[in-house]
Structure 1
Amino acid sequence: MKIHAEALLFDNDGTLISSMESVYRCWTRLAQEYGVTEAMASTDLHGRPAAEILAEVLPAEQVPEAVARIERLEVEDVAGGVVLLPGTKELLQKLPADRWAVVTSATRPLASARLHEVGIDFPTMIAANDITRGKPDPEPFLLAAERLGVDPARCVVFEDAPAGLASGRAAGMRTVALTTTHRADQLTADVVVPDLSAVSVQVTDDGVDITTEG
């Protein structure tokens, strides 16, 4: 499939990188510390802000402290706990800085630490600190389009999680789903690919031509 866009918006964890081993290690420790191991066992951690996750299992007055705690745990666990997913570096190296952004549910310090660990320099990032409503709300992707100065309808979202894809669709953007963390039948998108190695780009005068292989 071929798509023309003015900007490419990438989720981070599960799309550009994988830190799932670190994530589960740190959240398991946090659950033990707060005595919510059983409640956390049925909680979806992927693609959601920490504050939203913790609000489901902790009293409201404990959430801010727990958010700060999980961020410390995850930042300290970055070294050796993050890997590039296939195709990431090759794709990003071809994109001009004003044509792409990272849109993540993680905080800016954590997302920055993870990307720097694997040698990725990002031009623009929308993180949990920048928004009031996380994915699946369209706010994160709409803000990224605004920062890049691009019409949302001219953006393409790359995501691995249902909530992120729903966010992109709600923002009026085309979507590319990666089956790095979910099965294809769990993902609703304009096109579904295994990972970014199935995506090629060619920069043009007015944007980027994207070719995908499912």
Structure 2
Amino acid sequence: MKIHADALLFDNDGTLVSSLESVRRCWTRWAQEYGVTAEAFGRIQLHGRTAGEIAADLLPADVVPEAVARIERLEVEDVPNGGVHLLPGTREFLDALPADRWAVVTSATRRLAEARLEAVGIRPKTLVTAEDVTRGKPDPEPYLLAARELGVEPSRCVVFEDAPAGLAAGRAAGMTTVALATTHRSHELDADLVVKDLTALSALVTGHAVEISARD
């Protein structure tokens, strides 16, 4: 299968970078600090959601702003402790792309996203974070904003995601979707193409387009 596009839009955590170890460590401490029971915390989906959404599910509204600031601080400070690393194929795939052909689109805050990306040596020219939009994934706004910033029509963009909410955002934006089965099982992911990770793909830049192919 070959996909042709003018721009490639990547989710960060679970797509380019694994931060699961750090996320679990920080959110567990956060839940303890705010008196969230293990039962309540266990019912919450952490991956692919903003900290504000998670906090709002668990805490009174008047506590949410302080709690969101706290988890951001914990996660940023935890980055040097390990638990954040590149996923297989990330470096090789991004190195094949011109800087103006791709962007990172994340549900994290800018401060946290930049800390994690810097830790693994990724410096995107275009970065869209939770603070840049009014509605996060699965709303298409984050991906539509990235397309505008790159100057590319949404239909000419490919979204790379590991989470159902992000894939839904890409579809709603009218973009081609590629799912990476790094945090969810393949049958849980609805996309135009599902692969295990970026090692399964190659990118060839031809003129103003990028040709994405599945490796044999």
Counterparts of 1:213 and 1:132, CA distance in 2: 38
> Is 1:63 paired with 2:49?
no
Alignment length, in residue pairs?
Answer: 214
Counterparts of 2:215 and 2:71, CA distance in 1: 37
Aligned twin of 2:111: 109
Q: Which amino acid aligns with 1:129?
A: E
Q: Which amino acid aligns with 1:85?
A: L
Q: Which runs of 5+ in 1 are unaligned?
A: none
**RMSD (Å), alpha carbons:** 0.9
Counterparts of 1:179 and 1:35, CA distance in 2: 33
The percentage of aligned residue pairs carrying the same residue is: 71
Deviations 1:133-186 (A, max 9, x none): 010000000000000000000000000000000000000000000000000110
The question of whether the paired residues in 2 share the 8 Å contact of 1:202 and 1:210 is answered with yes
Counterparts of 2:149 and 2:41, CA distance in 1: 35
1:130 is aligned, of 132, 141, 144, to: 132
Counterparts of 1:21 and 1:213, CA distance in 2: 29
1:85 is aligned, of 72, 81, 87, to: 87
Q: CA deviation at 1:81?
A: 2.1
Q: Which moved more, 1:95-104 or 1:30-39?
A: 30-39
Secondary structure, counterpart of 2:79 in structure 1:
coil
Q: Which structure 1 residue ranges, 4+ long, deviate > 6 Å from structure 2?
A: none
Counterparts of 2:205 and 2:113, CA distance in 1: 26
What TM-score, normalized to structure 2?
A: 0.97
Counterparts of 2:209 and 2:128, CA distance in 1: 21
Q: CA deviation at 1:212?
A: 1.8
Counterparts of 2:214 and 2:77, CA distance in 1: 36
What TM-score, normalized to structure 1?
A: 0.98
